Amino acid sequence: MHISRLADIENRNVVPSLYKLYSLAAIYHLNPLHITSWYEAPFEETFRDATSLPTPLTHLSEPRMFPEESSEPPGRPSEPDQTKLLSEVPAELGSEFPGMERFAKGRYRYGHIGLSDRRMGPILRPGSLVLVDTSRRQVEDADWNNEYDRPLYFVELRRGYRCGWFQKDRSRLIMQPHTLSRCSPEVWRTPEDAEVAGQVVGVVTYLNEPWACVFAGERTARLG
């Protein structure tokens, strides 16, 4: 986008075209549907406005295109290869996991397991979506009988996030990756370097995820 056009939009109230609007949304990580409300064309309200215009003929309407507005401010979009803590269900996942978005209010948050985060595989596959109860921040690691019962926690670091099994040793927080992941344990000081965001109480994951083929191809190439 040319700098002069951006100046016209900001200073002269010039209405951007759909192409410019898309570019602005991509550059500033904004929701393009929300931007349309700035110019009195609220696309997000299309479904609601349509219900106030009943038609005389019976018809089958299209499914709702846009989810309800979240009461919390939307978080910045995250890179798919990084593990992140989200305030709402990602737009690209909301339609595939119906009903999950209602939990992302109050004490619940969503965590996204990055595509490059294989520390807890196969318990938590890369690309999984976890439901985090932020009211449960006390690490409990004694009352479990098998790996599926062992509590999972979502932890915020100074540079990133971790999700998995944790132990607390005084001021040290220790992450124990799954044995099959072949990752090494990690240790941080609390609260200086790490803080427990909450306990994982739900998991939504993919089976035979498409990106697994990519990793498999890379391993084959390395072995060859």
Query: What's the number of domains the chain is made of?
Result: 2
Tokens linked to 132: 């985090």
**Residue 119 buriedness (CB in 10 A; 0-12 / 13-18 / 19+):** buried
CB atoms within 10 A of CB 154: 27
Do 45 and 108 lie in one domain? The reply is: no
Cα distance between residue 21 and residue 148, in whole Å: 46
Pull the structure tokens for residue 97: 């996991």
Q: Which of 16-20, 114-118, 178-182 has the lowest mean pLDDT?
A: 16-20
- The predicted-structure confidence for 39-74, as pLDDT tens digits, reads as follows 777 777 775 666 555 544 433 344 444 444 444 444
Q: Residue 152 above 90 pLDDT?
A: yes
What average pLDDT is seen over the chain? Answer: 74
Are 207 and 137 in the same domain?
A: yes
- Same domain? 141 vs 204: yes
Give the pTM.
Answer: 0.56
Indicate whether 97 and 44 sit together in one domain.
no
115 and 170 assigned to the same domain: yes
Alpha-carbon gap, residue 21 to 30, rounded angstroms: 10
**How many Å apart are CA 207 and CA 118, to the nearest integer?**
15
Q: Which of 173, 83, 64 is nearest to 130 (CA)?
A: 83
Same domain? 117 vs 47: no
Question: Domain residues for 23?
Answer: 3-51
Percent of the chain with pLDDT over 70: 67
CATH number of 158's domain: 2.10.109.10
Q: How confident is the model at residue 171 (pLDDT cuts 50, 70, 90)?
A: very high
CA–CA separation, 1 and 223 (whole Å): 45
